Amino acid sequence: MWHVQRTHAALVSEFLSTDSPPIPIFATVLDKACEVVRYSYDFDGVVIHLEDMSCLKAGLHYLFVGKVDPSKVINHSHILRKHVDLTAYTAEGVMSFRRSMGSVLAYVDGGYFLNISCVPVDPNNTAPMFRSDIMAKAHAIGMINAVYSNFTARLKGLPPRDLARASIMKNDLGNLTKMNVLAGDQRFLLDLFMSSVKDVNVDVDMGIYLTLTKFRLRDRGWFDLRRLVDTRRVADISYHVAVNIHPSSDGTVNLLWSHCGLQEVVGQRGTLFSSYSMTETANFQSNLDHLPMDVDPRLMDVMLSQDVKVNFLQLYTVTPHCHTPAAA
């Protein structure tokens, strides 16, 4: 850990704008860390893999079920790569997984996204459609549109009693793009949509993966999963959690990770990169491939439950970001 001594007036922004700043830093091991630093904790994100969409308890008001095109289907590996256990994949399987495609199906109360993604079925086999982004996207578009067409057909074929539901009466089934969903009909419509997913999700190479996600929460409160979903129909869940380390002093000390110190505990498979443009300090992120992390076991032993697996680890210093206006 690096200590950076500074006066109260010498803020980080002033430090970075100085042409020849003094850098009085030294590395040290904190033997009694609890006396020198304090900790705070927060949830930074959550990914919930749904076995059945009807498990959703939080409200949604619209389903985006209009025909999709290349502009509406994007790469979804950034949503899933820290959630899925990539050690179950081969190197070729990971390359295919990085071409997972999908779109947003609904906005859910509380700032969550309900996503429909198309991912490789076999983690050990590279199917032809995953050999390029264009091919993967084209196949995903076909699969998602098949789900939406099936759903529309199911709506049109409902008995008169269900066609009289308020949500269905409010929508034009002949031109269904953004379906208004009323609270009293949410469970019924999600059940119907899941039937369409099951009808279409029979491809041997590309499968449908439904998730509920939210990122950048920075929430230090209590997260109650049971208020969001019926946990009995959740396949798995991953939390993005943070441990924030603060100096216990009066604010005249900044804490940074020591580059040489991190090298002793993070192994060879992750990525170390400098912080504040100083080679003595570093940030770290673990590998996102088919190989297991090789960091020190003490860094992995951060959860009280033995049933929890750590898929990804970052150690970084929060640095100020400066965004300058684009040139005219």
pLDDT of residue 318: 73
- Quote the CA–CA distance of 268 and 89 in Å, as a whole number: 20
Q: Are residues 149 and 189 in the same domain?
A: yes
Q: Are residues 22 and 105 in the same domain?
A: no
pLDDT of residue 269: 87
- Quote the CA–CA distance of 47 and 214 in Å, as a whole number: 7
Instruction: Please list, residue by residue across 110-127, b when 16 or more beta carbons sit within 10 angstroms of its beta carbon and e when fewer do.
Output: eebebbbbbbbbebeebb
> Is 307 part of any domain?
yes
Q: With cut-offs at 50, 70 and 90, classify the pLDDT of residue 21.
A: low
**Span of 40-44, 59-63, 186-190, 286-290 with lowest mean pLDDT:** 40-44
Q: Are residues 59 and 94 in the same domain?
A: yes
- pLDDT mean over 179-200: 96
**Model confidence over 82-101: pLDDT tens digits?**
999 999 999 999 999 999 99
> Is 159 part of any domain?
yes
Residue that is last in its domain, among 238, 257, 283 = 238
Q: How many domains in the chain?
A: 2
Q: Which domain holds residue 301?
A: 2-31+249-315
Q: Are residues 152 and 285 in the same domain?
A: no
Contact present, 303 and 310 (Cβ < 8 Å):
yes
Residue that is last in its domain, among 216, 238, 260 = 238
Q: Are residues 209 and 232 in the same domain?
A: yes
Contact present, 266 and 295 (Cβ < 8 Å):
yes
- Quote the CA–CA distance of 121 and 109 in Å, as a whole number: 30
**Model confidence over 39-55: pLDDT tens digits?**
888 888 899 999 999 99
Question: By three-state DSSP, how is residue 285 classified?
Answer: strand
Residue that is last in its domain, among 203, 238, 273 = 238
Q: Are residues 192 and 258 in the same domain?
A: no
pLDDT of residue 328: 46
pTM of the model: 0.83
**Span of 90-99, 132-141, 257-266 with lowest mean pLDDT:** 257-266
> Is 244 part of any domain?
no
pLDDT of residue 259: 86
Q: Are residues 20 and 144 in the same domain?
A: no
